[in-house]
Chain A
Amino acid sequence: MSVLVLVEGFNGEIKKSSLEAASYGSQVANALGTEATAIAIGEVQESALAALGAQGITKVLFDDDARLHNFVAEAYLKVIAQAASQESAKVIIFSNTNIGAALGSRLAVRLNGSLATNVTALPVISGDSFTVRRGVFSGKAFADVNLTGDVKIVAVKKNSIDISSDAGGTASVEKFSVGLSDADFAFAPKETVMQETDGGVLLPEAEIVVSGGRGLKGPENWHLVEDLAKALGAATACSKPVSDQDWRPHHEHVGQTGITISPNLYIAIGISGAIQHLAGVNSSKVIVVINKDPEAPFFKAADYGIVGDAFEIVPKLIEAARAL
């Protein structure tokens, strides 16, 4: 019996969300009196994998097949299912990325297991029951779910678990190969197009996000959002009407019909705070709202607020942020 954690690499490094999953997995292993093993896939350096010891991982199985640098569900599934069987894994931890969600559901069928996605806290384990808390109703509530299957699969919501950094020494890294054939890559993408991040930060992984709404009047004013983001090391986002009008690209749109984020800090500039917008950002740890209308609904969901004209306020913030 063991706990298996999927670790995803990106540009040689381990994704932050995978460090969270590793921290989660090793704490579950502790609670169950067993060890946490990682299965690492993607573009990542061996030295980075050994350092997973800090998150409490004792052993890393590393499949360095270059064909796995792109996500191909069928191939990934084969690798993970094989690792799970070799390690007799009873608990499998993913990060709730698009990849984690796509794999978790298929694996639940393949291993006849129980799956909980969007999980926000460590499990409560008592006797046979294994209960996790997950976000439901788009951030408006939590549900406590008991996973009754023999194999329990947990996809951990980003930025909801602290990364432990003092759990132990270095992890041993073992090469792992399941002999993938070309057929396993039949559904490989024809083409992959990465966004221009301009040396900046990817929105889904960002700890700080600066977001602009219709209050900014037009795309020509977005330097305010971009300059503040750059000064804070933040990613940029926007409301739906902003991307609908092509002021900003669609992948920046957050909310019910866009992406859901949960950064440590979300700064909303000229966004009214419609419920559909809040659905995408309401689990951010700290929310700052800048709006000229003191009655804007967003202030009800905010931790800090400034009432006033964004065109006067934001330059002051940029100046203060640059001085940090």
Chain B
Amino acid sequence: MKILVCISNVPDTTSKINFTGDGKSFDKNGVQFVINPWDEYALTRAIELKEAKGGTVTVLNVGEADTEANIRKALAIGADDAIRVNAFPKDAMFVAQQIAAIAKENSYDLILMGKESIDFNGSQVHGMVGELLGIPVIFPAFKLDMIDDTTARLEREIEGGKEVLEVKLPFVASAQQPMSEPRIPNMRGIMTARTKPLKVVEPTGEGAQTEYASFSKPEKKSGVRMIDAENAGELISLLRNEAKVL
């Protein structure tokens, strides 16, 4: 089975988020970048499927050269090779067009992504890629097993429950917890990752249908109002009469 896993390069959740003076762009200073956590679920599930059934796992990132540290990390976790589309990922449509172009060239059996990129929280790329390729998209999937060589069984979260689906390859699935247990690269993985192929290709198409004008931060809370544990019941009347949420 030929599997493509798309990974985005995002600030670690614990990072403080800052913007440059005029609020026009994200300030990368002092920010640690990681593989998008949801994409790690997709990556490890892809590696598990390969271990069980044979095949290859290719990781793909649309990004500038500084994302290569995390691409190497994905190789160290167990992907076989990698592709980087050498471009700033200016919006979801642009990213989706790059992924679709690579997928058309290489005809993968399965394209796995994360449910959402934790930086721009778009939840868009998977749907766009599926539509561009004319194949189904299962979003968000928390379980993925192969029934036989051509059909997968997936479980997807819906509001208030779950659905079980059987879908023929190829398709796009976007992963969420607990699809797999993300792995930490071991020493051997890190050593071999250095020599695994990482191909850099130039972007195609225009894509962008959105322009990010500026960023801002939410207003700070005015401070916490403490209530004495002895009079805990008072909280309920404050919530009703002061906060007006009951």
Whose C-beta in chain A lies nearest to the C-beta of B100? Answer: A109
Would you call B236 and A98 a contact (CB within 8 A)? no
1/0 per residue, CB under 8 A from A, across B117-144: the answer is 0111111111110111000110110100
B224 contacts A276, C-beta separation under 8 Å? no
B214 neighbours in A (Cβ, 8 Å): 143-144
> Contacts A114-B209, A146-B210, A304-B243: A105 and B229 contacting too (C-beta < 8 A)?
no
| Residues of B contacting A: mostly | mixed
- Distance between B32 CB and nearest chain A CB, rounded to angstroms: 13
Chain B residues close to A by CB (< 8 Å)? 11, 13-14, 17, 19, 37-38, 92-93, 96, 118-128, 130-132, 136-137, 139-140, 142, 156-167, 176-178, 208-218, 221, 224-229, 232-240, 243, 245-246
Chain B proximity mask over A102-121: 1 for CB below 8 Å, otherwise 0:
11111011101111111000
Q: Compute how far the CA of A50 lies from the CA of B79 in the bound complex, rounded to whole angstroms.
A: 54
Query: In whole angstroms, how far apart are the Cα atoms of A126 and B28 in the complex?
Result: 32
Q: Decide if B93 touches A108 in the complex (CB within 8 Å).
A: yes
- Please determine whether A116 and B13 come into contact, CB atoms closer than 8 angstroms: no
Distance, CA A196 to CA B124, complexed state (A): 30
* Selected A-B contacts with CB under 8 Å, 30 pairs: A71-B158, A74-B136, A99-B159, A101-B124, A101-B127, A105-B123, A109-B132, A110-B131, A117-B123, A118-B123, A138-B13, A139-B218, A141-B17, A141-B218, A144-B213, A146-B210, A146-B211, A148-B211, A195-B161, A197-B160, A250-B178, A265-B243, A265-B245, A265-B246, A276-B13, A286-B245, A288-B239, A302-B221, A308-B232, A312-B232
**Which size class do A's interface residues fall under?**
35 or more
Asked if A102 meets B137 with Cβ closer than 8 Å, knowing A193-B162, A303-B224, A313-B232, the reply is: yes
B227–A306 touching, CB < 8 Å: yes
What string of 1s and 0s marks CB contacts (under 8 Å) between A191-211 and chain B?
111110100001011011000
A192 pairs with B161, CB closer than 8 A: yes
Query: Taking CB as reference atom, which chain B residue is nearest A135?
Result: B121
Chain B contacts of A112 at CB under 8 A? 209
